[in-house]
Amino acid sequence: MKERVLSASEFKAKCLACLSEIEQSGESVTITRRGRPVAILGPVKRTAIKSLRDSWRGKAQIVGDLVNRDDSNLWETVASK
């Protein structure tokens, strides 16, 4: 594998094409200014995407009855006349 080196001005002119190339090949590019390396641009290390299903398993706990909950003490009673 040949390491790719671009000057800052060349990178500026070909930025989007360079990003596409990095995404496809997975190889890094060294960007230089006046012949000296200033940055290395490379692909992102991807992590496995977790399914949303069961994503809260083990992180939350249901306490009590959610369906037949008695909230009558939260309401004010109005005396009928």
The pLDDT of residue 81 is: 57
| pLDDT tens per residue across span 21-76 | 999 999 999 999 999 999 999 998 877 767 777 777 777 777 777 777 777 777 77
Query: Quick one: CA torsion of 60, 63, 65, 66, rounded to 10 degrees?
Result: -40
Q: What is the pTM of this model?
A: 0.54
Task: Please give the structure tokens belonging to residue 65.
Answer: 């009855």
Q: Domains in the chain and their CATH numbers?
A: 1-44 (3.40.1620.10)
80 pLDDT tier (thresholds 50, 70, 90): low
Strand ranges, E, within 1-81: 4-7, 29-33, 36-41
- Token pair 């671009």 is at which residue? 6
Distance of alpha carbon 9 from its chain centroid, rounded?
A: 30
Task: Please give the structure tokens belonging to residue 43.
Answer: 């692909």
